[in-house]
Homo-oligomer: A and B are copies of this chain.
Amino acid sequence: MKARVRLPDRKSRVTLTEVAELAGVSEITVSRVLRSKGPIAEATRDRVMEAVRAVGYVPNKIAGSLASADSNLFGVVLPSLSNIVFPEVLQGIHAGLARTGIQPVVGVTDYNLETEEALVRSLLAWKPAAMIITGSEHTAATRKMLVESGIRIAELMDIDPVPIDIAVGLSHRQAGYDTGKHLIARGYRRFGYAGLDPRSDIRARIRFEGLVAALSDAGLSLQDKVLADVPSSTLVGSATTARLLAENPNLDVVVYPNDDMAVGGVFHCMGAGISVPENLAIFGFNGLDIGRALPKPLSTVRSNRFRIGQTAVEQILETSIRPDRPTVVNTGYEIFEGATA
Residues of chain A whose beta carbon lies under 8 Å from any beta carbon of chain B:
1-12, 56, 58-63, 65-66, 68-73, 81-82, 84, 86-88, 90-91, 94, 99-108, 121-127, 129-130, 144-145, 148-151, 233-235, 237-238, 260, 263-264, 267, 270-271, 289-290, 292-295, 317, 320-322
- A274 CB, min distance to chain B CBs, angstroms: 12
Evaluate contact between B5 and A72: CB separation under 8 angstroms. yes
- A175 CB, min distance to chain B CBs, angstroms: 24
Evaluate contact between B100 and A69: CB separation under 8 angstroms. no
Evaluate contact between A61 and B5: CB separation under 8 angstroms. no
- A296 CB, min distance to chain B CBs, angstroms: 9
With A84-B87, A130-B5 as given contacts, are A105 and B267 in contact (CB-CB < 8 Å)? no
- A125 CB, min distance to chain B CBs, angstroms: 4
Evaluate contact between A290 and B290: CB separation under 8 angstroms. yes
Please, which residues of chain B bring their CB within 8 A of the CB of A294?
267
User: Which of B9, B56, B293 lies in contact with A235, CB distance below 8 A?
Assistant: B293
Please, which residues of chain B bring their CB within 8 A of the CB of A6?
69-70, 320
Evaluate contact between B105 and A12: CB separation under 8 angstroms. no
Q: Determine the residue in chain B with the shortest Cβ distance to A64.
A: B125
With A267-B293, A290-B234 as given contacts, are A3 and B148 in contact (CB-CB < 8 Å)? no
Rounded to whole angstroms, the CA-CA distance of A237 and B130 in the bound complex is 39
- A163 CB, min distance to chain B CBs, angstroms: 18
- A243 CB, min distance to chain B CBs, angstroms: 16
Please, which residues of chain B bring their CB within 8 A of the CB of A90?
81, 87, 106
Evaluate contact between B293 and A263: CB separation under 8 angstroms. yes
Show 27 A/B contacts (Cβ-Cβ < 8 Å), sorted by A: A2-B101, A3-B72, A3-B100, A3-B129, A4-B68, A4-B72, A6-B69, A7-B70, A9-B150, A11-B148, A11-B149, A56-B145, A56-B148, A58-B125, A58-B145, A60-B125, A61-B125, A62-B62, A73-B105, A82-B87, A82-B91, A87-B90, A103-B106, A103-B123, A104-B106, A235-B293, A263-B290
User: Which of B87, B145, B289 lies in contact with A87, CB distance below 8 A?
Assistant: B87
Evaluate contact between B145 and A233: CB separation under 8 angstroms. no
Evaluate contact between A126 and B62: CB separation under 8 angstroms. yes
With A58-B124, A70-B6, A150-B8 as given contacts, are A293 and B129 in contact (CB-CB < 8 Å)? no
